[in-house]
Structure 1
Amino acid sequence: MLLKNDTIVALASTDAKGRFALKNLSPDTYNIELSALGYSSVNKEISMTEDLSEDFVLREKDIQLDSVLVTTERPRVTTATGHIYYLSKKARESGNPYKALQEVPDIISNYITETVKSMDGKQLLVLVDGIKVNSGITTIDPKRIDYVEIKDVVNAKYMREGVQKILDIRLKPQKTLYQFYEYGLRNDFPHYWGSTWGKIEIGNSKFSVYADFGPEYTHDQKSENGIWTKSNSYIKDINEKTLSSSKTLDYTLMLKYKPTEKDYLAAYFQGNNNSAHAETEGSGTFVDLVNGNAGNDVMTSDYKSKSLSRVYSGTLFYRHTINDKMMLENYLTGTYNYNNLRNNTTDIYPAETWKDMTDFSTRKNTVSQTSEFTWDVNDKTSLTFGNATTYINDKLSEKYGMLPVYRHNEWSEFLYASANGMIKNFMYMVSLGYEGIWRKSAGVSDHYYRPYVSSAFTWNMKKAGSLQLGYTLNSAAPDVAMLNPYDTSTDSLRRNVGNPYLKPQETHGVSLRYSYYKNGFYAGAYFNYCYITDRYENIGFVDDNGVYTSTFENLGHYSNINLSALFNYRYKNTTVGTTLTHFVEYYPGQDAKKSFMGNLFLFQTLGKWGFYGSVAYTNYTYTNVSAQHNLTPTTSNIFVSYNITPNISLSVGSEFLTKDLKSKMRVRDKEYEMSILNKKDVFHPYILFRWTIRKNQKKRIDLDNNIVKDIQDDINLMNRKY
């Protein structure tokens, strides 16, 4: 209603998206009043001297009508890249953000283990208020969640980082001092894996500090490999048993400061220390096809390794809100990554003994800078511009060998732009990126320029759901491990080396997605086609001594087809969902390779009790030279939780309900064959204790600290023989 001196001048009703217009008004001062059942009314004085466009926000309000409580429930909103979901009042008052997120379909939010993952298995990035810098989901009070956005298509910036889907949690601004504390303890039985952690965040609307500290250990992890290998020189058949243990310490400190309503500052540090050791003993037979065995074919193997890793990372973040339509963000990140791996191997063959001792050390330094400018041109169009600059310096040295120091230096510059828009019921997102890379690896210099494209066109069919067509072009450069030309294998009959001459591979993807959601029922159907040129493929050759060398090359083309169906239904305190995926891969000169994956999960809450169970199925996985058959294709887990008080919970469960996981891998590459029968002990029930306290959660500075390990693609030295 538009009023002048208590007289109604004009009336209007909003459309389904909350828009309305009042036209042909005389210049004057008016009172405007907006009201809707279930919301608090808004009354404001406005001065009309010219055309005026303004947004109003109505806050939700419970209405008492003859002892019937009426609350509003907003439908999901379709966007150019996915959907927006509004949580119910019950979810927001659950006291646990992971419980609240169970109302969001297409993700699996487990409040017992405090984990969130995508139902379709895609790599999920969690943002808070659209920012990649926060203290995580755990510290969020669900009362402060305004809405949750799922982005099935990501722009060029995130696509370059390997992100496939985004969960963006948007929070409501509120006030006063707040405190958050959590302590947890988990231990598996028998003595196998355990961890403890403490988290704390204290602050107000201007300043806050967040810290966490989490030691973790593994003990006597057991696995067995039955390995059969054949080349033109020998046949080897050996059974190996491995016992491994590790210790890890994670720690974080984050300071956040909001000097004005338009500025955010954050300083963040994270450290990770890890040490591990493993011992493998093997026995079997070795047949020399060239010289014979002189009546003896018995062989034994002994392998010991120790590893040490230290990773330190610091980030400075600044966000400035220029006005209600423009925003600028800047990141500056530096990391130091040290790894050391020591191996001692002894293989005793019928005719000789082979001994090897290696001591590899790597040092990786990375500095990166990112800037991003966003502009909401109007209520239908938004633009984003940004850049990312990265410098990497890697050094690998071997203490006992004769190899020179391996050095890798790389400089990259990435520019990108994105546009989102809407035309009636059709929405679009187009994102373009262009990257230049200059690198020198093992004395080999190279540079190249690669494009990135991410686009989505969505048709909002209202009650019938939404249909989305997408296209992506990803130009991934090889990582450092693929370029390292030095042998990192500890097997006397196998060499693993990289190729410093590798070029980027180019990936084209076309997807069609249908999504339907109503009254807690969600259904999705996905078709994805992927075509890769200059794909990195494993290749190998056998020398005159029968030693097999495995490396990489850019070979021809590769394509795959992915068909998926997703279903999720939530009713009161029960959530059930399933995902079915059929995957077909096409390698050059080979028959189509097919695999199937399925997943079924169930959540149930009964008072203070919580139950979660899932069953997953995967039959095969492939590369161009290998096929892995999962002999235990079906795995299941179960968790039971009891809330002793609203702040204290006790949980028991097991990640696996089977004693062993078994798989068989077959490698065939020209004159080389290998078969590995793997068995791993996985049944280890655990008990988990968690104590969480939230006080005065009314306003906090919401930045995100997930940036730390995203750029830690260090050289992988943990190659346990195969």
Structure 2
Amino acid sequence: MKYFLLLITLFTGISYASAQGMGGAAAPSVTGRISGTILDSLTSKPVDYATVSLGRAGSVKTTNGALTDEKGAFKIENIAAGSYRITIAFLGYQTKILDSVKTTPGKPDLNLGRILLAPNLKMLNEVVITGTTPIIENKIDKLVYNAEQDIAIAGGNATDVLRKVPLLSVDFEGNVSLRGSQNVRVLINGKPSGSMANNMADALKAIPADQIKNVEVITSPSAKYDAEGTSGIINIITKKNNLAGISGSVNGGVGTRQNSGNLNLNAKTGRLAVTANGGGFYSWPQTSTISFKRTNADASQIISQNGESQTDRLAANGSIGADYDFNSFNSISTNLRLNGFSNGADGSNLNQNIFNGNAVNFTRLSDNSMHMNGIDWSSDFLHKFKKKDQQISVAYQFTNSIQKNDYTTDFSNTVIDEYGNNDADNTENTIQVDYTHPFKKVTFETGVKGILRDIVSDNQTRNFNSETNVFSPISSRTYVYDYNQDVYSAYATFGFTLAKKYGIRAGARYEGTEIKGDARSVGAAASPFTSSYYNLVPSFVVSRTFKNFSTVKLSYNQRLQRPSLFYLNPFLNSADIYNQSQGNPSLKPELSHNVEFNYSMFVKTSVLNASVYYRRTNDIIESFVLPISVTDPSTGLTATGSRTTFRNVGNNNSVGFNFFGQINPVKPLTLRGNFNVFTYDINTNNTVVVSNTNSNTQLIYNAFLMASYVFPKGLTFETFLITNSPRRTSQGKNPSFNMWNLGLKKEIMKKKGSIGLTVIDPFNENKNFRSNIAGADFTQTSNFSVPFRSFGTSFSYRFGKLTMQAPRKKRGVTNDDLKQGEQNTGNQ
């Protein structure tokens, strides 16, 4: 660690010194900004996209300028003290000139306030200017889904939002896939969250949909990003208003399945901006039915279960952040985020087993609960040089999450036979330095990073001794397990444009990983081990732009997928002795090669995006069911049960095609659709034996269709349909998923508020999720039936007075480097 800190210190000093030399003269001692808000003189409405030009007083030459945003606000940076001439122009309005605008060293920042622009009466009846942010934006390095423009997500959570994002699919448990792969990294505002390392599906449910501004999907990350995430990166951007004054919003929803609420507050004055938000959701208790059957190859043993369980969920999260600009060149940012999630499941199962022709029946009662609490704190410093786009940043992040899993099981219906609990503590410290230098036609980026992870899993399991009438620890399952993972990395990228049509970005990243795992008690089931591996991962993308905003893009990159806490935790959950689950701390990382050819086109309001891609993943990690010997609680005989764990099952080759399109056949109507189809072709390693039915190439698909219609007076209707085929694994297939939603939204209170109605699957009270798994000597089927049809209402209101906008560059730590957890994959 000390060598890494020394490396960062030297790197920072060298980068800063070289930047000073390469950038020319030092920056002026005092610089500031000129800002204001342009309004229509007749309606007092903002004038967006107006041109604001700045030059020296008495001269018509322009030296700087800006465009107004959707609030009519503008800001011109890096202004030395002096007198200036400002010209404001926009089609359909009379040009306005302010010829004596002064700033001084004592007051370098000047806010001109509200500036009224008079319409040109000759053109007033001829020109109509409208502009809104599109729901989907396709950029050179990512696809952006602007959730705040979508009316049908009110009252839901982040899982509901991700279901509507092109290229993504979400199954019934909330597991997110990017083009069919669950090996995806999810970031919040460009930063990781410790809660995601425990169970991503649950963590996403804790984020209210009304808090999300947009979602970025990055399928070909550059070397600047961590090499983790074999299929790509999902970055969830939350709402943040950098407008002068105090503003906020309140959102809430009530439904037959779940309830949610969220509050956002924003305050900005001068160079200081503060934001805070809090929210959560609660799902009403619901009763689900479960059926399970496991048969040996020779049918000598049949394990059959039928039962029900009652579950409920509660989630909450909150954050507070502050940004301060010391001047135009130096700024600091800090953010603190808290989150919590809990769920419980009380169940009763009737076991009807057959052992060598003899029937054995008994009832099992179980109680499972999970509680997760996390904290993420980050702070970063950004220094901009005099040369445009030249900058250096230093960021630090501390992340801690604690997840508690508890279960009890009772076969006699009188005394608890076994109980177990696990406290898993995941702590991360990250430091990162990034430097950007623009040359004449090339932009160079480089940086170093260190991530120190410490995971402690405290396992305690006890069973009842009928002879002594006391609970005794099970020594092999009562221990504390320490897992340490340190990742050190450095990267360099180059980006440039040729002939104004070709964009090229290339780079490489080197990552070294050191792992150590050991149990603190003697005789523990989890064996100690150490491992180190080093990877050089290149990335390359070239794009060609044509007329009519059409673009073709070819990209290649390598990606890693290190297993997160969810996969590594060695805690054995045996609430059901015939269906146990346990993590695997000995998992190796995945390594993938990704090639993509993409075409996109924008014609007026129509959007088309199509991709053909190939992905080869080595040492792919999947849930895997293993046969184990157990003692039947009713007869005392030895029987065969199953344990779901995770393994590196082999190599997978996948070829896929993705299509996304959006059209407006008539002005009020918008139609959108996304279709993704790909192959699953697993070549298992020598340690994995699968049935012949799972060794062939499989075809998997997911699709999304949406239609929305805008009626007069602020009324909007939307409906969408999602369908996902069963997800294949080396042992079989996990459940398919489909959902139909209808939504209605009405703007009220002069468009500051809205009310909405949402209906989910109106014709399906319950939904069945079936899975089939086959091993070398067994077959296993299960069905999980849950209440699904729901009705809900939502309300939102925006308040506060805003005067100007100051967009800020995102920065900070981005630990996009861990395989996220599936939820109960492979289990009933």
Question: Which secondary structure does the structure 2 equivalent of 1:297 belong to?
Answer: strand
Q: Name 2:564's counterpart in structure 1.
A: 479
Matched-pair contact (CA < 8 Å) for 1:40–1:58: yes
Q: Secondary structure at the match of 1:68?
A: coil
The alpha-carbon distance between structure 1 residues 316 and 715, as it changes in their structure 2 partners (threshold 3 A), is same
DSSP 3-state at the match of 1:463: helix
Residue among 315, 325, 334 paired with 1:267 = 334
Residues 1:620 and 2:726 are matched in the alignment: yes
Q: Does 1:355 pair with 2:417? A: yes
Task: Kindly indicate whether residue 298 of structure 2 is the aligned counterpart of residue 237 of structure 1.
Answer: no
Query: Does 2:158 align with 1:120?
Result: no
Is 1:337 aligned to 2:406, yes or no? no
Q: How far off its partner does 1:568 sit? A: 0.6
Residue deviations 1:570-595, cap 9 Å, x none? 45443210112222110127111112
Partner SS state of residue 492, structure 1: coil
Cα distance in structure 2, aligned partners of 1:409 and 1:640:
50
Specify whether residues 475 and 524 from structure 1 end up closer, same or farther in structure 2 by C-alpha distance, changes over 3 A only: same
Aligned partner of 1:20 in structure 2 is none
Kindly provide the amino acid, as one letter, of the partner of residue 242 in structure 1: S
Deviation for aligned residue 1:623: 0.9
Provide the secondary structure at the position in 1 that maps to 2:790. coil
1:550 shift after superposition: 3.8
Identity across aligned pairs (percent)?
A: 14
Q: How does 1:155-304 map to 2 (within 5 A)?
A: 155-158=222-225, 160-162=227-229, 164=232, 177-189=244-256, 192-231=257-296, 234-289=301-356, 292-293=357-358, 296-304=359-367
- Equivalent of 2:456, from 395, 402, 418? 395
Q: Please, which runs of 5 or more residues in structure 1 have no aligned partner?
A: 1-37, 86-96, 103-107, 143-147
Q: Distance in 2 between matches of 1:112 and 1:247?
A: 15
| Contact kept? 2:745, 2:757, Cα under 8 Å | yes
Q: Relative to 1, partners in 2 of residues 1:202 and 1:72: Cα closer, same or farther, differing over 3 Å?
A: closer
Alignment partner of 1:312 is 2:375: yes
- The reply to whether residue 687 of structure 1 matches residue 748 of structure 2 is no
Structure 1 residue 529 and structure 2 residue 614: aligned? Answer: yes
Q: Which of residues 662, 671, 678 in structure 1 aligns to 2:777?
A: 671
What SS is found at the alignment partner of 2:661? strand
Deviation string 1:63-107 (CA, Å, 9 cap, x unpaired) is 14442126598999997536899xxxxxxxxxxx856x57xxxxx
- Residue of structure 1 in register with 2:661 after alignment: 567
Query: Distance between the aligned counterparts of 1:328 and 1:84, measured in 2?
Result: 26
Q: Go from structure 1 to structure 2 and tell me whether the alpha carbon gap of 1:489 and 1:594 turns closer, same or farther (over 3 Å shift).
A: farther
Aligned residue in 1 for 2:108 = none
Give the conservation status (yes or no) of the 8 Å contact 2:242–2:273. Answer: no
Match of 2:676 in 1: 581
In structure 2, what is the equivalent of residue 383 of structure 1? 444
Asked if the contact 2:335–2:377 (Cα under 8 Å) also holds between the matched residues in 1, the reply is yes
Partner Cα distance (1:384, 1:267) in 2:
23
Matches within 5 A, 1:400-549: 400=461, 401-402=474-475, 403-424=478-499, 425-442=501-518, 443-463=528-548, 465-543=550-628, 545-549=639-643
Deviation of 1:299 after TM superposition, in Å, equals: 2.8
Q: Distance in 2 between matches of 1:405 and 1:281?
A: 31
Residue 656 (structure 1) aligned with residue 761 (structure 2): yes
CA contact (8 A) 1:490 1:721 kept: no
- What is the TM-score with the length of structure 1 in the denominator? 0.79
Change in Cα spacing, 1:629 to 1:185, as seen in structure 2 (3 Å) is closer
> Aligned residue for 1:557?
651
Equivalent residue for 1:11?
none
Q: Deviations over 1:104-146 (max 9, x none)?
A: xxxx995786947531214697898x9999x99978999xxxx
Partner of residue 601, structure 1: 706
Give the AA of the match of 1:335. Answer: T
Tell whether the 8 Å contact from 1:341 to 1:718 is kept in structure 2 after alignment.
no
Given the two structures, how large is their TM-score scaled by the length of structure 2? 0.70
Q: Alpha-carbon deviation of 1:304?
A: 0.5
SS in 2 for 1:453: strand
2:428/2:452 contact within 8 Å kept: yes
Contact persistence 1:132–1:706 (CA under 8 A)? no
Shift of 1:404: 2.1
What is the CA–CA distance in structure 1 between the aligned matches of 2:415 and 2:328, rounded to whole Å?
A: 72
Greater mean alpha carbon deviation, residues 486-495 or residues 471-480? 486-495
Give 1:311 deviation, angstroms.
0.8
Amino acid at match of 2:427: N
Deviation at 1:701, TM superposition (A): 6.5
Matched AA of 1:193: Q
Residues 633-668 of structure 1, C-alpha deviation per residue, up to 9 Å, x if partnerless?
Answer: 542101111112111211111343332221210010
C-alpha RMSD of the superposition: 4.1
> CA distance change for structure 1 residues 156 and 118 in 2, over 3 Å: closer, same or farther?
farther
Residue number in structure 2 paired with 1:62:
91
CA distance in 2, matches of 1:340, 1:523: 46
The more displaced of 109-118 and 612-621 is 109-118
For the residues of structure 1 that align with 2:648 and 2:316, how far apart are their CA atoms? 38
How far apart, CA to CA, are the structure 1 residues paired with 2:741 and 2:433? 43
Cα displacement (A) at 1:528: 1.1
- The whole-number CA distance in structure 2 between the counterparts of 1:534 and 1:714 is 16
In structure 2, stretches of 5+ residues that fail to align are: 1-48, 69-88, 93-119, 169-177, 179-183, 194-206, 462-473, 519-527, 630-638, 685-694
Instruction: Note the C-alpha offset of 1:215.
Output: 3.5
Q: Distance in 1 between matches of 2:155 and 2:604?
A: 25
Q: Pick closer, same or farther for the CA change 1:578–1:511 going to 2, 3 Å.
A: same
* Separation of aligned partners in 1, 2:790 and 2:311: 15
Change (3 A) 1:521 1:327: same
In the superposition, relative to structure 1, how do residues 405 and 299 fare at CA in structure 2: closer, same or farther (>3 Å)? Answer: same
CA contact (8 A) 2:247 2:265 kept: yes
Distance 1:271 1:390 in 2: 21
Q: What one-letter code is carried by the residue in structure 1 that aligns with 2:423? A: S
Relative distance call for 1:149 and 1:579 in structure 2 (3 A) is closer
Letter in 2 for 1:388: K
* Matched-pair contact (CA < 8 Å) for 2:618–2:651: yes
In 2, Cα distance between the equivalents of 1:213 and 1:413? 34
SS in 2 for 1:406: strand
Q: Contact (CA 8 Å) 2:562, 2:819: kept in 1 or not? A: no
Q: How many angstroms does 1:700 deviate by?
A: 4.3
Structure 2 SS opposite 1:160: coil
Report if aligned partners of 1:393, 1:409 keep a CA contact under 8 Å in 2. Answer: yes
**Cα offset, 1:447, TM superposition:** 0.8
Contact 1:198 1:213 in 2 (8 A): yes
Match of 1:286, SS? strand
Classify the secondary structure of the residue corresponding to 2:572. coil
Change (3 A) 1:124 1:659: farther
CA distance in 2 between counterparts of 1:213 and 1:501 reads 38
